[in-house]
Amino acid sequence: MTSRAFELQMLGYGLTTANICYHLPDHPHLLQLYVWQEYDLAPKFPTLKGFLDFWSRELDGVLHSVQVAHDRLIGPAEWKAVNGVFTLQ
């Protein structure tokens, strides 16, 4: 049985990390940092957009900024045929 993360990577998803800065509800002059990480599709990031929509709709902390990093961990181009085996001592 394969893991959900591996299956998503084989479908083209990559690990996405978002640093979300938001204003604290009780102290609007202070910024808090939240780190979100999930597998998502670049460049449209539907999962991240869904999370940010939920945040805006349900949570009190007003978003200040979002920084996104994305890395495709496994892709079809990384699979290569091996023509031989090399033994190192």
pLDDT tens sequence for the chain (89 residues): 789 988 998 898 999 999 999 999 999 999 999 999 999 998 899 999 999 999 999 999 999 999 999 875 445 555 566 666 666 66
| CA 25 from centre of chain | 26
C-alpha atoms less than 13 angstroms from C-alpha of 19 in its C-beta half-sphere: 5
Query: How far is the C-alpha of 5 from the C-alpha of 61, rounded, in Å?
Result: 30
Pairing of strands 14-23, 31-40: antiparallel
Which pTM does this prediction carry?
Answer: 0.75
* DSSP reduced 3-state for 13: coil
Q: What does the block give as tokens for 63?
A: 């978003």
